[in-house]
Amino acid sequence: MKKLCSALALAAATLLAVPALAGDPPPPPGGAAILTWTLDQQKYGYRNMEKVNPHHVVARGDHVRALPQGEPIDPKWSWAGKDYTVDSYMAEMRTSGVLVLKDGEIVLERYGLERGPNDRWTSFSVAKSVTAILIGAALKDGHIKSLDDPVSAYIPEMKGSAYDGVSVRQLMTMTSGVKWNEDYQDPQSDVAKVGLSILEPGVNPVVSYMRRLPREAPAGEKFVYKTGETDLAGILVSKAVGKPMSQYLSEKVWAPYGMEQDAIWVDDVAGHERGGCCMSMTLRDYARIGQFMLEDGVIDGERVLPEGYVADATAEHVKLPEGAGNTGYGYFWWLMPNGYEAAGIFGQSIIVYPKERLVIAINSAWPSADADELWAAQAALGRAVREAAK
């Protein structure tokens, strides 16, 4: 299992779904049903998540960062016995967008699935990597003193739980040692149940659920992919900075960096943005996130992220086994040969190749949420783009 976000945890939020506007088709069902949407439901729903679930808005600013046109590239490659172009890949892989930046210039931009440049698309777990950016900003601003601080210093409700003694760093590398089941086929798994109901009035339901979990290993020793921990990290950010994640993201990155459209960030049942899932933005704004990382978290000469934070966030804090696809895990960023990646189910990705000054943004509507062969095919696209852009 790789890169799954807790789409099932949207089920409770569906009860508060935003009604469709006159003339719109009926929005597809939310919650667990998002994993089984038809292609038509994906094409509409992924572009219109704000009509499916309650959300916060990440406001853009008063200027847009230009993405100049560069020298076009036209990758061609072979994979699994077949020859591909970008167009044939997009048609076969149900891809709604591929955009490549080289030195901050657009060298490839294509759209599919009835999507255009002004249409947003849901991120699924790409949002996890944005949460890591916000933690870095909170470090720079002094709201988080150290990544070695205990989680309970920022979320006091975690005192006395299995998260006692777990550091912010261990939360971000998913090495808390707290027991977790991310089995999407099991309706009794943790990922299927976390945050679905108010367990304690006045306490966020994710916090309530997570502080009841048992420990299975010493903190720092075992990597287990836990969407609940990124939701917990999002709550940690908002508690530390004293404002919603969406507002802080707008102030620190979205407005000053010059994103071209407002983004939306889906809420949990308590009305808090989900640190582990479900932002929606344009393809160019996906690429701008990668460019922001490539530029070391600096905007117009001003540091948003601490010096060295991007390198630390994309370092191998967890080594993954051979054949896992990705080689390691950083702070909510996946590592890959020659680069790093933000990734979400059904084929959402921001790939950064630092040495080549290359950013690749990809959005998709795969027929399967998380299949090794689909990720392998997308990785082949990334390698072909890297080769063509040299």
- What the chain holds in terms of domains, given with CATH numbers, is 7-67+95-388 (3.40.710.10)
Gap between the Cα atoms of 23 and 17, Å rounded: 17
Structure tokens that stand for 300 in this block: 């117009």
SS3 94: coil
Of 195, 228, 183, 184, the residue nearest 35 (C-alpha): 184
How large is the greatest C-alpha to C-alpha distance in the chain, in angstroms?
57
Of 375, 208, 348, 212, the residue nearest 286 (C-alpha): 348
Structure tokens that stand for 361 in this block: 């943004």
| Alpha helices in the chain, H assignment, sequence order | 11-14, 39-45, 86-92, 126-140, 168-172, 190-193, 205-210, 227-241, 245-249, 255-257, 283-294, 309-313, 372-388
Structure-token match 């900003």, residue found: 137
Give residue 7's pLDDT.
Answer: 44
Phi-psi region of 323 (alpha: psi -120 to 50; beta: other; left: phi over 0): left
| Non-local CB neighbours of 288 within 8 Å, separated by 6+ positions | 65, 67, 257, 258, 259, 260
Q: Would the pTM count as exceeding 0.75?
A: yes
Give residue 53's pLDDT.
Answer: 87
Gap between the Cα atoms of 209 and 202, Å rounded: 13
Structure tokens that stand for 299 in this block: 């905007």
Give residue 31's pLDDT.
Answer: 65
Beta-strand relationship, 121-122 and 263-266:
unpaired
Give residue 55's pLDDT.
Answer: 94
Residue 257 has a CB neighbour count (10 Å cut-off) of 22
Give residue 21's pLDDT.
Answer: 44
Phi-psi region of 20 (alpha: psi -120 to 50; beta: other; left: phi over 0): beta
- Distance in angstroms between the alpha carbons of the first and the last residue of the chain: 32
> Residue 67: beta bridge partners?
none
Phi-psi region of 269 (alpha: psi -120 to 50; beta: other; left: phi over 0): alpha
8 Å CB contact between 5 and 131: no
8 Å CB contact between 90 and 75: no
Give residue 182's pLDDT.
Answer: 86
Give residue 10's pLDDT.
Answer: 43
> What does the pLDDT profile of the chain (390 residues) look like in tens digits?
455 554 444 443 333 334 444 456 788 887 667 778 999 999 999 999 999 988 999 999 999 999 999 999 999 999 999 999 999 999 999 999 999 999 999 999 999 999 999 999 999 999 999 999 999 999 999 999 999 999 999 999 999 999 999 999 999 999 999 999 987 667 788 887 887 777 888 899 999 999 999 999 999 999 999 999 999 999 999 999 999 999 999 999 999 999 999 999 999 889 999 999 999 999 999 999 999 999 999 999 999 999 999 999 999 999 998 877 899 999 999 999 999 999 999 999 999 999 999 999 999 999 988 889 999 999 999 999 999 999
Give residue 3's pLDDT.
Answer: 56
Give residue 192's pLDDT.
Answer: 77
Of 255, 253, 217, 4, the residue nearest 132 (C-alpha): 253
